[in-house]
Structure 1
Amino acid sequence: MTEETFTSIPVIDIAGLYSTEKADRQKVADTLHHAASKIGFFYIAGHRVTEDLIADVRSAARDFFSQPFEKKMEHYIGASASHKGFVPEGEEIYNKARPDHKEAFDIGYEVPADHPLVTAGTPLLGPNDWPALPGFRERATAYYNAVFDLGRVLFRGFALALGLDEHAFDDVAQFPPSKLRMIHYPFDGEARDAPGIGAHTDYECFTILLADQPGLEVLNGNGEWIDAPPIPGSFVVNIGDMLEMMTAGAFVATAHRVRSVKEERYSFPLFYACDYHHEIRPLPAFDKGDTEYAAVRIGDHMWAQAMQTYAYLIARRERGEIALPEGTRRTNSFGHFTRTGVTP
């Protein structure tokens, strides 16, 4: 059960996860367990992602978003074969009454075009559509790889936290649909009444977020929005739908949003997922024998949520070109949305 009245987000030093001593790793894992089960959000310090890599990804994002709109639309996500590329303002629909006030560039795990998963037509997988900006691909790829490696370390910590062998999840993310998003919130001098990103949970196992300005808010169990401002030298980590499913709700996929702010803002979430065809179900220690958390392939869940969120995919569904996978859950059916009755 969550601590319904949390009013701040804890900071966890994960340096012990890199220790050769099992006791050090277990100590961090116990702290992760508490934060994941009681809040669903926490900061991590003591990681090994360098400041140079962080500075480089920020500069790469500025280079891309400073281009004219027409140039960015050359990489429109709706023209992509694998759901990657530029996401213009209003493309994502979390709240039908108010479009999100942001733009994004989505980068996926690089899977070659001739890989069997790609030639089989697996959604979300394939090569990235890289813009021809000097050094963009190199800077973005270096950051992606470093944070994805951090995700592998964290997943070992979560495995220990769940009473599993710490390498239990090592082989479940070989070619995953894990996305890095470069998100740009333009300067808004009027700070109009529109969300940066509407309230939602993340579809994957967990998210590792870098942001440079306040704006992120986290929903507690009382239906109150709690600030999660950036802390220098740390990332924000939040539990996603699939870890909630693995633990049958013991870990909570806490809902969050980005409120409207005047300042220009950049953020870089990496969504750590398992391989598309990996089936997620409650682990034996958490299985209650009911149907609240029915087993699902993680890729089907991610693809279904995207089809209910992105305007171009919604249009394709309406034309009958694609259909939701069997057993699709509606958006915002995890986390505190189900526990508080708060409307996104």
Structure 2
Amino acid sequence: MLKLTLLLGVLLVPAATLDLSALIAQLWPNDSAGVFDSVARIPYSDLMNDNPYVDPFVLHSMKAFGFFYVVDVPDYSAEAELELMTTFFGLPEDVKADTEIRAHNPANPNAYRGYCPGLDDIDATLQYKNIFNIGPHETRAPFFDNTLDSATEKLRYDVQEPNVWPNTADCDFDKEFKETFQAGFELRRGIARAFVRSMSRALEMPGLPSLFTEDEFSAMGLRKYPERRAVNTNMYSDFDGELLRELEHVDSTVTVLSTFENGGLQMLYNNEYKNAPNSGNDFIVNIGKIVEDIIDNELMSVRHRVKEVEFARYSITYFLGPSFDADISRSMSGQITEAGIKYNIFGEWIKDYLGAIELFYY
């Protein structure tokens, strides 16, 4: 293939003479005009097969922009996912209540996995979105061992909470919803892990993948941002005054994002927020602060936000965290990380990040 031949040839060129930005723009052009034209667009099969030619392109894009795209994903349909999401969020609230998290429906045991309808005052809250959370577990131990008085062991049990799935009068929809998003979870998890391996090779950090051998609290959130009925004055950006749907932030771990054809996502570039091209049938990939610290700040966690839009906006965000017992206190070079000032392992960090967990015994 011409593209592969050219790229393999590029790797033989001395780094000082290599114009990666121009080459990426040539080989992976983007239809939109703007500053992000040269963000890398990495073929899914090559990333998943650990083809080393992708590494310098991932590296360049992450250093220059803080994100890249994974494209040409076989047998994936963003349209099918979006249709199922739209159907689920359009169900009557009493039907969705069966999957609500315990904070909204005390009759349910699930604390994290399932439906979170947001706060009651939906025009005032900063978190104006509905979420359906999916995790890596379908089953877990039937009960918590009360003889284990360690808070860490209790937390380890709690974060293995199994998924809950819609149970409506439409059995075909329930089956398709579950199977589609189980497959979608595995697809995104595979991309995130392949990205970790690519970072490991490109940055010559062979120990990095060992921190991600398990992913007890990885999560995929199906998100709907309803149209606002009123302007929330707290949602104006302190940075530039833009009215926002999602405030400026950086992520924590590894992110695989689907925006479909919904505009609104903006990335900070050269101290200015720029519109990120929609993912369409592809995926946007970036890292968060914990990962940035672990890799000695060699790549950046891009600050991003969602500006206000005049339509109901849907997206899917997948987060791959380190293993529960992964040491996040020191970077790959042995430096104390920001998280390491207070925490030793990722499980300790996630406890504070999520807040207090209520016990529920089956």
Report the TM-score range of the alignment, normalised by the length of the smaller protein.
Answer: 0.7 to 0.9
Change (3 A) 1:12 1:91: farther
Summarize the Cα distance change of 1:262–1:141 in structure 2 as closer, same or farther, 3 Å threshold: same
Q: 1:175 to 1:21 in 2, by over 3 A?
A: closer
CA 1:201–1:19 in 2, change beyond 3 Å: closer, same or farther? closer
Distance 1:284 1:142, change over 3 A: closer
Structure 1 residue 216: deviation in Å?
Answer: 0.9
Give the counterpart of 2:130 among 78, 103, 106. Answer: 103
Question: Considering only aligned residues, what root-mean-square deviation do their CA atoms show, in Å?
Answer: 3.4
Cα distance in 2 for partners of 1:118, 1:127 equals 17
Amino acid at match of 1:274: P
Unaligned runs of 5+ in 2: 1-33, 147-152, 169-173, 236-243
Q: How many Å apart are 1:269 and its aligned residue?
A: 1.0
> Which of 241, 246, 249 is 2:294 aligned to?
246
What is the Cα deviation at residue 17 of structure 1? 6.5
Q: Compared with structure 1, are the counterparts of its residues 126 and 259 closer, same or farther at alpha carbon in structure 2 (3 Å cutoff)? A: same
**Cα 1:234–1:132, aligned 2, differ >3 Å: closer, same or farther?**
same
Q: Distance in 1 between matches of 2:266 and 2:214?
A: 32
**Residue matched to 1:114:** 141
Question: Which of the numbers 186, 190, 196 marks the counterpart of 2:226?
Answer: 186
1:58 maps to amino acid: L
State the alpha-carbon separation in 2 of the partners of residues 219 and 20 from structure 1: 28
Q: State whether structure 2 residue 26 is matched by structure 1 residue 26.
A: no
The answer on whether the counterparts of 1:185 and 1:264 sit within 8 Å (CA) in structure 2 is: yes
Residue in structure 2 matching 1:128, options 151, 163, 172: 163
User: Once the two structures are superposed, what CA deviation does each residue of 1:45-82 show, in whole Å capped at 9, x if it has no partner?
Assistant: 24x35333x33322321221011223323322225545
Q: Which amino acid aligns with 1:30?
A: P
Question: Normalising to structure 2: TM-score of the pair?
Answer: 0.69
Deviations 1:171-230 (Å, cap 9, x if unpaired)? 7333421100000122347776643222222222x10111120011122352x2221130
Larger radius of gyration: 2
Per-residue deviation at 1:301? Answer: 2.5
SS at match of 1:150: helix
Q: Match of 1:262?
A: 310
Structure 1 segments unaligned to the other structure (5+ residues): 1-5, 308-312, 323-344
* Structure 2 match to 1:220: 269
Residue in structure 2 matching 1:71, options 81, 85, 95:
95
Q: Which amino acid aligns with 1:65?
A: F
Change (3 A) 1:20 1:241: closer
Match of 1:60 in 2: 84
In 1, are the aligned partners of 2:211 and 2:323 still within 8 Å (CA)?
Answer: no
Deviation of the 1:265 alpha carbon: 1.6
In structure 1, give the amino acid aligned to 2:39: V
Aligned equivalents of 1:117 and 1:279: distance in 2?
A: 25
Alignment match, 2:26: none
Identity within the alignment, %: 22
Distance in 2 between the 1:14 and 1:270 partners?
A: 18
Return the offset for 1:291: 5.8
SS at match of 1:43: strand
Instruction: Count matched residues.
Output: 294
CA distance in 1 between partners of 2:41 and 2:95 (Å):
41
Which letter does structure 2 place at the counterpart of 1:70? D
- Residues 221 and 9 from structure 1, CA distance in 2 versus in 1: closer, same or farther, beyond 3 angstroms? same
Cα displacement (A) at 1:261: 0.5
Corresponding residue to 1:84 among 113, 130, 141: 113
Q: Give 2:76's aligned amino acid.
A: E
Q: Is the alpha carbon distance of 1:171 and 1:298 closer, same or farther for their aligned partners in structure 2, counting shifts above 3 Å?
A: closer
Confirm or deny: 8 A CA contact 2:47 2:54 kept in the other structure.
no
CA deviation profile, 1:112-141 (whole Å, cap 9, x unmatched): 221899994324322112121422211111
Residue of structure 2 equivalent to 1:237: 285
| Corresponding residue to 1:210 among 258, 282, 287 | 258
How far 1:105 moved relative to its partner? 0.5
For the structure 1 residues 298 and 226, does the alpha-carbon distance in structure 2 shift closer, same or farther, using more than 3 Å as the test? Answer: farther
Which residue identity is paired with 1:178?
Answer: S
Task: Please tell me the residue identity of whatever aligns with 1:88.
Answer: P
Partners of 2:142 and 2:204 lie apart in 1 by 35
Which SS does the other structure have where 2:36 is aligned? coil
Please give the alpha-carbon distance, in whole angstroms, between the structure 1 residues aligned to 2:49 and 2:135.
34
SS at match of 1:126: coil
SS at the partner of 1:50?
coil
Q: How far off is 1:142 after superposition?
A: 1.3
